[in-house]
Structure 1
Amino acid sequence: MGKSQRDKGQRREREFAKLIGGHRVPLSGAQEGYTNDVIGMGLAWEVKARKSGFKTIYDWIMDEREKPDALALKADNKPWLVVMTLDRFKELVGDGRNN
């Protein structure tokens, strides 16, 4: 991974940590013993950022006709995943600032 990709990842981790009132895990992924990217709202988070790698997921969750609260995703032989906007997540569990 190049410096620009690493810097982008760290920017997104800091941004997400701020949004949920959490904190970025220093050295996450770079040194043994430092796992996950962000801790907040009582959860350990991995933060992924792609220029357009999640386009289909965004298309599904932002569908103006369907207006889903969340997506349920499943690949063969893998566990179910639930995807929702951060705003909807915070509505359901609170803003996390007290955790």
Structure 2
Amino acid sequence: MGKASKEKGSRRELEFAKLMGGTKTPLSGAVGGEYSNDVKALGLEWEVKARKEGWKTLYDLLEDEREQPDALALKADRKDWLVVMKASDFKRLMEGRSNE
């Protein structure tokens, strides 16, 4: 991975940590142990990935003007279900849960 890619990854990790009210893990989780994963926020450990257009289909599905879904449920054969939603919606959901 080149310097520009590492810098981009670090910027995205900081951006996500700020959005979620969390902290970026030192060394981007490269060490392991208590330093595993990229961000700690909302009681979860996050791995942060950014791609120029890597998830265009997911964005298109979430932004569908006819459907306007709150989240996507995804499943590959013989794999666990995944849920995809906008981070701002997820944060609001988690914050509401902590108030109960």
Match of 2:6 in 1: 6
TM-score normalized by structure 1? 0.89
Check if 1:85 corresponds to 2:97: no
TM-score normalized by structure 2? 0.88
Moved over 2 A (4+): 28-34
- C-alpha separation in 2, matches of 1:23 and 1:58: 25
Higher relative contact order (CA 8 A, sep 6+): 1
2:83 counterpart SS class: strand
- The structure with the largest helix share of the pair is 2
Give the superposed CA RMSD. Answer: 1.3
Matched pairs, number: 95
Q: Residues 10-64 of structure 1, C-alpha deviation per residue, up to 9 Å, x if partnerless?
A: 0000000011110000113422432110001111011010000000000001111
User: Contact conserved, 2:37 with 2:45, CA < 8 A, in 1?
Assistant: yes
Runs of 5+ consecutive residues of structure 2 not aligned to the other structure: none
Match of 1:21 in 2: 21
Percent identity, aligned pairs only, is: 64
Check if 1:41 corresponds to 2:42: yes
- C-alpha separation in 1, matches of 2:70 and 2:17: 22
Runs of 5+ consecutive residues of structure 1 not aligned to the other structure: none
